[in-house]
Structure 1
């Protein structure tokens, strides 16, 4: 558990951090503290937070909180961890070669991968873009397959 990162459990907290984070990328990790993939991602985020602090803020959103379900539904968070990026209250999208450009699904392999992604989003946002290309090579982008049981 990373105590440097703020954990949001209320819709109002998520609303205000999105609205109040100006001229920085806001990184919201949706997940739960008990999940092993979330713990790995939280470790990467925690270790990176100081290095990206000049151009990004990081917060964790507890998806088990009843009050944030409106965001869980809106961003269609079915896999955790899912990381969503904002800049000046605008949802930033990233083309990483997957079908979903709205969020990063899964954990980053290493600290530098996360820093590179946030830096690319910041640079794109400063140029007025709402979608940026993922700077990581395809082998470092998590791939998720939908598994159907009893079909």
Structure 2
């Protein structure tokens, strides 16, 4: 059986998913189904959903939805896809060596890379941590250039 990932297009859907996902990591992929990198990430997420289902829930968030813009602004989703993690309604951060710990930007190279990151988030959350170290080697982490206005 293949897992179908829910696609959230309304703020209240995202709110309730964050609020109602208890004792599991909530993985929210912000992006567009028309973007090539999003499709690559979605493929990894689809293939991994069953493997992480004991300790994580995965959902897709449609960036083009007007109602979702409050989250896009709040989490500064400027690069797509961006994946954001929660545990018991707390935003979980990942230290992957970039300046931005609030989200994972880009795709995961493999299904196992994604599973390893979600497991690290889950283990850290179970210990009460709000930020965890990325378990992937540096070459497995997508690189992107942060742009700052007026610098």
Please classify the TM superposition score into its range, dividing by the shorter chain length.
Answer: over 0.9
Q: How many residues align?
A: 147
Q: Structure 2 matches for 1:32-71, cutoff 5 A?
A: 32-71=32-71
Distance 2:74 2:145 in 1: 21
After superposition, the CA RMSD in angstroms is 1.4
Residue segments in structure 1 that go unaligned for 5+ positions in a row: none
Which residue matches 2:24? 24
- Which aligned runs of 4 or more in structure 1 are off by greater than 4 angstroms? none
State the shift of 1:41 in Å.
Answer: 0.1
Distance 1:62 1:71 in 2: 11
C-alpha change, 1:96 and 1:16, in structure 2 (3 Å) is same
Q: Is 1:94 matched with 2:110?
A: no
Normalising to structure 2: TM-score of the pair?
A: 0.95
State the shift of 1:145 in Å.
Answer: 1.8
Normalising to structure 1: TM-score of the pair?
A: 0.95
Which residue matches 1:10? 10
Residue segments in structure 2 that go unaligned for 5+ positions in a row: none
- Does 138-147 or 74-83 show the bigger shift? 138-147
